[in-house]
């Protein structure tokens, strides 16, 4: 019988997209169980594609004391029943609740991956609260994996965690990058006319250098800093031949930034 490995994310899209392929690989060596909230698409899709068992336990991204306590109890009860050898959490709320539940349940190995710190965009009491939450999460974990050296520096500066408890995998990543997926041959079967029309629609010329961001278009993702840096880049020699493409949900559909000016499409 293979030892159990529980992977936890706050929302199912994180399980389905961020850990794509990794769960199936780990399932060769462990009995992997995915724990996250349940939706109409990503929960089922992740389980079927990766060939793993999924357990629905809802968690709130926002601070919600009552709902958080309910989620914590459900996670604790789940771990007491399953008795996993390893619990590995991702995303802030899943980290706090998952690591605390694993600690309470006496899970032998507790791991947490840090893919971002929303607190850097906050101040005052909220920042203090979020900082306390990070400290608790790292305290409960045996090992902490920042997915970049920049995050490691912030964590050390804020004194959230000891350096000997952290490790940046490779040059910084949660799951590596499948470069084949981003090949131009992937788009519409590699049709040249489709690529040319897409670039023309966005005002991207053949010799332009395109910088891309893919993710939620929210302040906590550093969008403002990215746009500010891009604006400075455009003022440099040759900078006018650069474009910044932002792709992701912003509450009003999808959008892109061209020559420092936001447009929606």
What is the full DSSP assignment across 236-256?
STTGGGEEEEEESB-SSSBEE
Most confident of 31-35, 169-173, 179-183, 215-219: 31-35
Beta bridge partners of 87: 6, 110
pTM for the predicted model, two decimal places? 0.81
At residue 175, does pLDDT exceed 90? Answer: no
Distance CA 107, CA 85 (A): 6
Between 258 and 82, the more confident residue is 82
How do residues 124-171 score in pLDDT, each as one tens digit?
Answer: 998 899 899 999 999 999 999 999 999 999 999 999 999 999 999 988
Question: What is the structure's pLDDT at 252?
Answer: 46
Written as six digits, the tokens of 38 are 């349940």
- Residue partners of 223: CB distance under 8 A and separation at least 6: 213, 217, 246
Q: How far is CA 47 from CA 12, 36, 44, 220, 247, in A?
A: 10, 11, 5, 29, 26
- Residue partners of 261: CB distance under 8 A and separation at least 6: none
DSSP category for residue 37: -
How do residues 215-265 score in pLDDT, each as one tens digit?
Answer: 878 777 788 889 899 999 988 887 888 999 988 876 444 444 444 334 333
Lowest model confidence (mean pLDDT) among 63-67, 121-125, 134-138, 182-186: 182-186
Beta bridge partners of 145: 113
3-state secondary structure of 194: helix
Share of the chain above pLDDT 90, in %: 57
3-state secondary structure of 87: strand
């Amino acid at each position: 019988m293979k030892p159990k490995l529980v992977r936890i994310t706050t929302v199912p899209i994180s399980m389905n997209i961020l850990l794509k392929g990794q769960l199936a690989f780990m399932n060769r060596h462990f009995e992997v169980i995915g724990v996250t909230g349940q939706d109409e698409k990503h929960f089922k899709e992740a389980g079927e594609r990766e060939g793993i068992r999924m357990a629905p336990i809802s968690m709130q991204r926002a601070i919600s004391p009552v709902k958080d306590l309910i989620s914590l109890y459900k996670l604790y009860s789940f771990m007491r029943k399953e008795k996993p050898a390893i619990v590995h959490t991702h995303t802030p709320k899943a980290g706090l609740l998952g690591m605390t539940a694993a600690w309470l349940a006496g899970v032998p190995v507790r791991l947490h991956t840090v893919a971002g710190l929303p607190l850097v965009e906050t101040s005052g009491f909220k920042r203090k609260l979020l900082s306390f939450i990070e400290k608790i999460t790292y305290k409960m974990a045996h090992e902490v994996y920042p997915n970049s050296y920049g995050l490691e520096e912030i964590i050390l500066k804020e004194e959230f965690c000891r350096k000997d408890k952290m490790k940046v995998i490779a040059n910084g990543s949660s799951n590596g990058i499948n470069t084949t997926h981003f090949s131009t041959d992937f788009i519409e079967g590699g049709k040249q006319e489709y690529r040319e029309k897409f670039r023309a629609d966005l005002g991207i010329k053949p010799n332009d250098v395109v910088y891309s961001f893919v993710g939620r278009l929210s302040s906590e993702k550093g969008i403002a800093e990215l746009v500010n840096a891009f604006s400075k880049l455009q003022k440099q020699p040759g900078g006018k031949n650069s474009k910044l493409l932002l792709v992701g949900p912003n509450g009003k559909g999808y959008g892109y930034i061209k020559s420092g000016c936001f447009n929606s499409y």
